[in-house]
């Protein structure tokens, strides 16, 4: 699939569901928000890039502590939701820009922080996106990446990627911690720390949020039930299809 074709898939998938992501508890809540807020505390002069901002939850959580937040996403309809929500909340320092992670329309060293949450698995190519993150960061700038993480095991990885793409055809890849560490290093960033969290996903809201077609929902449930005990136990798959998955929180510096 070409980058332009993938862009069209992403825009179609998320444009139609933009408002659902604003109200999604999975996206609006998370212990990582406190970490992001602590990182920017006392930096009222800072510029923050919310990369792959989705419905803008990162932007909304850090805006009051910094000088400016640029909410950046491939979906203009998502950005329209962000702009409206920012206005409603009185966050006048939040602006929106549309574009791809692999080609950022910003000058070198524009940002003190680049934060990305639950976006990287949609990027068509992680490597150039990470190089772009390094480019737009100031020397000494900080990046945080929060995303669903592959366990690294071939069996568990194959299962995870399968259900992800059945649920959402704009999915590209959930990377393992080892893949993240290698690619961050190759992009010229220094990994300060990384940790693993666990995220519980309620099945019905998970598929409803993306309006997953019924045939694909059936395929997900059939696959869940057909897998062996190792997969069912690792992902804590329950009778109604709900499950838990790993999330990586990685901090890097330029």
* Whether 19 contacts 82, CB under 8 Å: no
User: Mean pLDDT of all residues in the chain?
Assistant: 92
Query: Using 50, 70 and 90 to split pLDDT, how confident is the model at 228?
Result: very high
Look at residue 10 and tell me whether its pLDDT is greater than 70.
no
pLDDT at 64 (0 to 100): 96
Distance CA 36, CA 15 (A): 26
Query: Using 50, 70 and 90 to split pLDDT, how confident is the model at 1?
Result: very low
* 25/59: higher pLDDT: 59
Which of 39-43, 208-212, 234-238 bottoms out in mean pLDDT, i.e. has the lowest?
Answer: 208-212
Alpha carbon 98 to chain centroid distance? 16
In this structure, what token pair is assigned to residue 21?
A: 């992501």
Question: How far, CA to CA in Å, does 14 sit from each of 1, 24, 148, 149, 177?
Answer: 18, 13, 18, 21, 26
Look at residue 205 and tell me whether its pLDDT is greater than 90.
yes
Q: Tell me the pTM.
A: 0.90
* Whether 208 contacts 132, CB under 8 Å: no
Distance CA 219, CA 71 (A): 35
């Amino acid at each position: 699939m070409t980058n332009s074709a993938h862009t069209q898939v992403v825009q179609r998938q998320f444009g139609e569901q933009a408002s659902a992501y604003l109200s999604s508890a999975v996206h609006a809540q998370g212990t990582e928000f406190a970490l992001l807020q602590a990182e920017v505390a006392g930096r009222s002069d800072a510029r923050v890039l919310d990369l792959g901002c989705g419905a803008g939850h990162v932007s909304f959580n850090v805006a009051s502590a910094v000088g400016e937040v640029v909410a950046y996403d491939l979906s203009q309809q998502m950005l329209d939701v962000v702009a409206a929500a920012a206005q409603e909340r009185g966050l006048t320092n939040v602006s929106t820009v549309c574009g791809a992670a692999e080609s950022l329309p910003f000058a070198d060293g524009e940002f003190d922080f680049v934060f990305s949450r639950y976006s990287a698995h949609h990027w068509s190519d992680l490597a150039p996106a990470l190089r772009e993150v390094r480019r737009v960061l100031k020397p000494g700038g900080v990046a945080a990446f929060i995303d669903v993480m592959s366990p690294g095991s071939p069996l568990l990885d194959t299962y995870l990627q399968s259900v992800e793409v059945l649920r959402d055809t704009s999915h590209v890849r959930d990377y393992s911690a080892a893949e993240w560490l290698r690619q961050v290093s190759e992009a010229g960033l220094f990994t300060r720390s990384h940790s693993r969290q666990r995220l519980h996903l309620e099945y019905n809201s998970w598929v409803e949020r993306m309006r997953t077609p019924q045939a694909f929902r059936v395929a997900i449930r059939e696959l869940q039930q057909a897998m062996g005990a190792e997969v069912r136990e690792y992902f804590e798959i329950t009778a109604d299809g709900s499950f838990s998955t790993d999330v990586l929180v990685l901090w890097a510096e330029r």
